[in-house]
Structure 1
Amino acid sequence: MSSSASTPILQIITIPHRPTPTSAEIDQELAPALSILTGAPGLVAAWKGRRHEDKYTILLLLLWSDLSASRSFFTSPSYNDFNRVAQPALRGRKITWQQHAPAGQWDLSDLAHLRSVIESPCVEVALTKVVEGGVAGYYDGFRRVVSKVLDAEPGCDGWWISPLIENPQDQLLLINWKSHSAHHEVFERRPGFQQCIDTLKDYYAEFVIPTHVVELSPLFGSLP
């Protein structure tokens, strides 16, 4: 693998907005903060969606030119401005942004796979904590079984996986589903789902509880 210092970095930001009557109100309240963010040097592209499980929670997917670009923004006065103007919409809730993963380092996380996930009506976000020493076995099982099951699943149109920079034992798995029900109502009833669980279960440090991003749309830039 190449150094993450020169590799594009995908970051996930979770913004727990206060409950509002309409999504338009959320967009209006967050617009000043997002304007600051999209002006950050080194930001290549950004997408915004909402969490299916909580329609008031906004998720941002950011692609940075490299890790230093993200670190520069989140340690700069601009992030202080971003956080300050976002606070009235949060009502004391905290933004989560410490999730970075290299994009394009190898075959499981290349930009082609990322592109297949970004263009999605429903993205499953599964942060998988792997047992100590089990990452190599986890990747082997994913390549041999899970990737093939997902590629053959009619309701799945792509996937992407990469280790978190904050802790490489933790894996960020994104899966493109045609809908939320295509995952939970259809796929989880198929034999392939159990094949995936049986292949990877010994590598899970804890049970994976995924979330889903819907209404994902471009906010800034585009994939290279």
Structure 2
Amino acid sequence: MIVEHAILPVRQGQEAEFEAAFAEARKLIECQPGFANLQLARSIESPAQYLLLVRWESVAAHTEGFRRSPEYQRWKQALHHFYEPFPVVEHFTTVFASGFDAAGHAE
């Protein structure tokens, strides 16, 4: 299991529209092979910044599966115009976890 991590810098004043668009767009990623779960969190200190964490079975499930799918094209159309600048996406593997199982679920 890997974690995709992205800080999403949403244009100020568009937070409500972004959240509504994300609520719909999430369905495009949740149906992908290799998808486990996702979490979207909003910064308290910088309310126009969001943290997206997506758990995948592998990096390939994200980069070769989702990003090459027709659903990704719809994801881009729904969400990418909200970002300024465009977010950096990285993949992480667990080194240590406390209070979570190997899949990232609370124990």
Same fold by TM-score greater than 0.5: yes
Query: Relative contact order (alpha carbons < 8 A, sep ≥ 6): 1 or 2 greater?
Result: 2
Answer whether contact 2:7 2:49 (CA < 8 A) is retained: yes
Verify: 1:181 aligned to 2:66, yes or no: no
The residue number in structure 1 matching 2:32 is: 153
Cα distance change on mapping 1:140 and 1:216 into 2, 3 Å: farther
Q: Deviations over 1:49-68 (max 9, x none)?
A: xxxxxxxxxxxxxxxxxxxx
Q: Does 1:210 align with 2:53?
A: no
Give the number of the structure whose alpha-carbon radius of gyration is greater.
1
Structure 1 unpaired stretches of 5+: 1-120
SS of residue matched to 1:147: helix
Distance 1:154 1:221, change over 3 A: closer
Would you say 1:130 and 2:14 are equivalent positions? Answer: no
What's the counterpart of residue 192 of structure 1? 71
TM-score of the superposed pair, with normalisation by structure 2: 0.86
Amino acid at match of 1:154: P
Aligned alpha-carbon RMSD (Å): 1.5
Question: What is the rounded CA distance, in whole Å, between the counterparts of 1:154 and 1:148 in structure 2?
Answer: 13
Q: How does 1:5-154 map to 2 (within 5 A)?
A: 121-144=1-24, 146-154=25-33
* TM-score normalised according to structure 1 size: 0.43
User: Residue 213 of structure 1: CA displacement?
Assistant: 1.0
- Percent identity between matched residues is 29
Measure how far apart 1:134 and its partner are.
0.8
Q: Kindly provide the CA deviation profile for residues 143-174 of structure 1, in whole angstroms up to 9, marking residues without a partner as x.
A: 11x21011111121110001112201000000
How many residues align structurally?
102
